[in-house]
Structure 1
Amino acid sequence: MVAWLEKHQIWMYLLALVIGATTGLTAPELGSPLAIAINPVLGLLLYATFLMVPMARIGQGLKDFRFLGVLALLNFVLVPIVVFVLTRFIAGDQVLLVGVLFVLLAPCIDYVIVFTHFAGGASARLLSATPLLMFGQMLLLPVYLWLFVGTEFVRSVDFAPFLKAFGFLIVVPLCAAGLTQYAAARTRWGQILADGVSAAMVPLMMATLAIIVASQIFKVSHQLSKLVVVVPLYVAFAVIMIAGGAVVSRAAGLSIASQRAVVFSAVTRNSLVVLPLVLALPAQFELAPLVVVTQTLVELCIMLVMIWALPRILKPQAALRVQPQGS
């Protein structure tokens, strides 16, 4: 069953999206309870992912300055430029602009690691980079918002949820995975636990996708006429960053696995972490959280395409065959 799920995982994820959408649209009263479940199920998914990464490899990733430099260049230099250009056509609507800026300027630190793993990318290196990505966006997001929106708006934002999310979604699952690996190396029950959690990767991913979509789609569907304008913007951002990530990472001479990780990091945004920040904005920005949620729904579909497509686009060069010379 585990092998079958892994072989057909893309179809399973699409099924999870359909189940989530159907549930959210037909039973909207489940939206609030399911929203509460997002972080716990995402934490379990990240625990399962971290469990498959030897802890020693995480420390090694901190020494890979070329990889870290490419991530920083893409997420904190190229992304703001792309976002500024793409948002010019909604610059007159401050609510839409704020929502888009929040979500697109913040690189993902959580499920991007899972998607990278499923696409054969360097998930351990990306995990090592999460402190850089986390604290980089904490420092620079206020600067970008100040440049693009203004000083008064920045003063109204509480950035504390960043640290809370980092602790709950990265530190806690990582420590739990380390303890499980330690137990698995020394006890039979630890090995059974590790094997069971690893086998649950695909079902956990399905549950995460279904819960996110089911908890948010009803609210988005009722504001669709106002939100549809940002959908092409999100798609354009993903396309540009896929190309930009591939070109920059290849030019930097990174391995194929690292190139895939870089592309996923460039495309995937920190929507689940910035959402609490946007929810805490003044009342006139009540539509902004749905702008963020819309990006999440668009991104999940794009991620499934990337899991299938990136291994086919970014793949090792075939070895050149040496033709025998004629006598």
Structure 2
Amino acid sequence: MDDHQVVIYLAAMAAGGLLGRLAPAAGPGLEHAVNPVLGALLFVTFLQVPAAELLRSLRDGRFLAAALVVNFVVVPLVVAAMFTFLPADQAVRLGVLLVLLCPCVDYVIVFCGLAGGSGRRLLAATPLLLVAQMLLLPGFLYVFTGSGLADVVEPGPFLEAFLVLIVVPLAVAWALQAWASRRTAGRRVSDAATTAMVPLMAATLLTVVASQIPKLGDSLADVVAVLPFYAAFLVVMAFAGKAVARLFRLGTGAARAIVFTGATRNSLVVLPLALALPDTFAVAAVVVVSQTLVEVLGMVAYVRLVPRLLPAG
């Protein structure tokens, strides 16, 4: 499944879109299934974010500084440059902001390794990247949307989604990591849970797309309109990541890892926040998920092109 995950994800999204179009009445029922499936997926995702590596990541100063600069300085500047050209729909813009401002913490490591990048360094940095994005995201959203954000985001559902679908799965995953480090039984449970990553992600993509498509109405054109922005983001971040890696004088493996962390985004971790928005902002969730469509195709290209952009030696 890992070898064919790109095809599996694309097929799941296509099936979800078809189901949403042909059976819109199933949307409300499928919507009730989103949170359980998403919660399970995020638990498995966080299980691969090693809490024990947090202190080790702090010792790798240059790499960590480069990862923080590319994700929380360069990426917001790139997003700001494209922001005014996005569709005017506020829900579409909010969805783009949610997904592009948060770096990926899961399958980026797989693709980075396939391209000869330092997956170990990136894995060690993931806990800090996850914590940093959750702390910085509210401030970034306020900078881009201004005080109008308070009129859109109801604190109750937003905080509930953050607690139930992000904090709780993260805490349980790190508790299981601690158990797995001490007991064979815990390691077996952890290994078994990790194998569910690809099918759970496929199930989540299918369920979210099928449940949200009936809500789109006339907004589908706006969703399609943001796809070129996601593609442009991948192109720009390849060269921006290379520039940051050179600035910090990183070796080839570490430099490739910086390119990957700057380009890949955290769509499924911020998805609960998009789903917590009012129904009038339902398009935001589809905008978030649509980024995955572009990104998985982009990662196939990255695996081939990044080694040429940053050749060994």
Per the TM alignment, residue 258 of structure 1 is displaced from its structure 2 partner at its CA by: 3.8
* Equivalent in the alignment of 1:223: 219
Over 3 Å counting, the alpha-carbon distance change for 1:156 and 1:67 in structure 2 is same
Q: Is the 8 A contact 1:44 1:204 kept in 2?
A: no
Q: Is the 8 A contact 1:58 1:125 kept in 2?
A: no
Q: For residues 26-45 of structure 1, what are the structure 2 equivalents within 5 Å?
A: 26-28=22-24, 29=26, 30-45=29-44
* Equivalent in the alignment of 1:113: 106
Distance in structure 2 (CA, Å) of the matches to 1:115 and 1:199: 17
Distance in structure 1 (CA, Å) of the matches to 2:87 and 2:221: 18
Q: Is the 8 A contact 1:108 1:268 kept in 2?
A: yes
Per the TM alignment, residue 47 of structure 1 is displaced from its structure 2 partner at its CA by: 5.4
How many matched pairs?
301
* Structure 1 runs not aligned, ≥5 long: 320-327
Distance in structure 1 (CA, Å) of the matches to 2:80 and 2:212: 27
Q: Is the 8 A contact 2:119 2:257 kept in 1?
A: yes
Per the TM alignment, residue 270 of structure 1 is displaced from its structure 2 partner at its CA by: 4.0
TM-score of the two chains, using structure 2 as the length reference: 0.75
Over 3 Å counting, the alpha-carbon distance change for 1:162 and 1:134 in structure 2 is farther
* Equivalent in the alignment of 1:235: 231
Over 3 Å counting, the alpha-carbon distance change for 1:127 and 1:171 in structure 2 is farther
Q: For residues 252-267 of structure 1, what are the structure 2 equivalents within 5 Å?
A: 252-267=248-263
Which amino acid in 2 is paired with 1:311?
Answer: V
Over 3 Å counting, the alpha-carbon distance change for 1:275 and 1:198 in structure 2 is closer
Per the TM alignment, residue 156 of structure 1 is displaced from its structure 2 partner at its CA by: 6.2
* Equivalent in the alignment of 2:179: 179
* Equivalent in the alignment of 1:322: none
Q: For residues 1-327 of structure 1, what are the structure 2 equivalents within 5 Å?
A: 5-28=1-24, 29=26, 30-46=29-45, 49-50=48-49, 57-90=53-86, 93-105=89-101, 107-108=102-103, 112-120=105-113, 122=118, 125-130=121-126, 132-154=128-150, 157=153, 158=155, 160=159, 161-162=161-162, 165-184=165-184, 189-190=185-186, 192-220=188-216, 223-275=219-271, 277=273, 286-287=280-281, 289-297=282-290, 299-315=291-307, 317=311
Distance in structure 2 (CA, Å) of the matches to 1:206 and 1:71: 28
Q: Is the 8 A contact 1:43 1:173 kept in 2?
A: no
1:30-60 deviations in Å (ceiling 9; x for gaps): 431332234223134325635xx6x654542
Distance in structure 2 (CA, Å) of the matches to 1:269 and 1:83: 12
Kindly report the root-mean-square deviation, in angstroms, between the aligned alpha carbons of the 2 structures.
3.6
Distance in structure 1 (CA, Å) of the matches to 2:11 and 2:92: 30
Over 3 Å counting, the alpha-carbon distance change for 1:118 and 1:155 in structure 2 is same
Per the TM alignment, residue 65 of structure 1 is displaced from its structure 2 partner at its CA by: 1.9
Q: Is the 8 A contact 1:142 1:154 kept in 2?
A: no
What's the secondary structure of 1:269's corresponding residue? coil
1:154-183 deviations in Å (ceiling 9; x for gaps): 576436354655423433213213312432
What's the secondary structure of 1:254's corresponding residue? coil
1:72-101 deviations in Å (ceiling 9; x for gaps): 212222122211221213486545444433
Instruction: Give the percent of matched residue pairs that are identical in Structure 1 and Structure 2.
Output: 37
Which amino acid in 2 is paired with 1:113?
Answer: D
1:217-242 deviations in Å (ceiling 9; x for gaps): 44347521343333322332232223
TM-score of the two chains, using structure 1 as the length reference: 0.72
Over 3 Å counting, the alpha-carbon distance change for 1:95 and 1:246 in structure 2 is same
Rg (Cα) greater in structure: 1
Distance in structure 1 (CA, Å) of the matches to 2:199 and 2:148: 45
Q: Is the 8 A contact 2:87 2:225 kept in 1?
A: no
Over 3 Å counting, the alpha-carbon distance change for 1:211 and 1:265 in structure 2 is farther
Over 3 Å counting, the alpha-carbon distance change for 1:19 and 1:278 in structure 2 is closer
Which amino acid in 1 is paired with 2:301?
Answer: A
Over 3 Å counting, the alpha-carbon distance change for 1:295 and 1:156 in structure 2 is closer
